[in-house]
Amino acid sequence: MKIGELARATATKVETVRFYERAGLLPPPDRTDANYRSYGPEHLQRLSFIRRSRDLGFSLDAVRDLLALADDRGKPCDAVDAIASGHLAEVERKIADLTAMRGELRRVIGSCRHNTVADCKIIETLGPRRDA
């Protein structure tokens, strides 16, 4: 299959597919006479893996590690678990950060009385020591 088909099949942009190749995540495929990339089912499978991992928020580095592990079928699974668990912890930290932000933002926005900027509570909150 050509790059456009592969891209469509995995909901990826063509440029991103080429980017993954340059980044060493997707092996360089054969080329046609016209120098077009020609992918096989193994590429489709590998790109699907990458996309799914990315959807779960894994970094490209993590995806690289996961792919290497996936290719090493005899290895114990704990390394995979470690990567995933580490990532989960990070996601949880981000959720906590954003939840705190949300609380602050709601508080700040809730205090807006829709007057002028001069006595805007939002601006006041942002600039803590504004006295003019």
Partner DNA sequence: CTTGAGTCTGTAGCGACTACAGACGGTAGA
Partner DNA sequence: TCTACCGTCTGTAGTCGCTACAGACTCAAG
Kindly tell me which of 36 and 81 has the beta carbon lying closer to a second copy. 81
Question: Which tokens sit at 19?
Answer: 């980017």
| Angstrom distance (rounded) from CA 14 to CA 37 | 11
Phi-psi region of 36 (alpha: psi -120 to 50; beta: other; left: phi over 0): beta
Among residues 9, 44, 60, 120, which is the contact residue for DNA, using CB under 7 A?
60
Buried b (16+ CB within 10 A) or exposed e, 24-40: ebbeebeeeeeeebebe
Positions in 28-87 near a second copy (CB under 8 A): 45-46, 48-49, 52-53, 55-57, 66, 69-70, 72-78, 80-81, 84-85, 87
Tell whether residue 48 is a contact of DNA (CB under 7 A). Answer: no
| Angstrom distance (rounded) from CA 43 to CA 16 | 14
Kindly tell me which of 60 and 120 has the beta carbon lying closer to a second copy. 120
As measured in angstroms, the least distance from the Cβ of 26 to DNA is 11
From the list 1-9, 13-21, 28-36, 101-109, the region that binds a second copy by CB under 8 A is 101-109
Residue 94 has phi, psi (to 5 degrees) of -65, -40
Nearest to 50 by CA among 26, 30, 69, 73: 26
| Angstrom distance (rounded) from CA 54 to CA 112 | 39
For binding to a second copy (CB under 8 A), which residues are involved?
45-46, 48-49, 52-53, 55-57, 66, 69-70, 72-78, 80-81, 84-85, 87-88, 91-92, 94-95, 98-99, 101-102, 104-106, 108-109, 112-120, 122-123, 125-130, 132
Binding residues vs DNA (CB under 7 A): 2-5, 7, 13-16, 18-19, 31-37, 54, 59-61
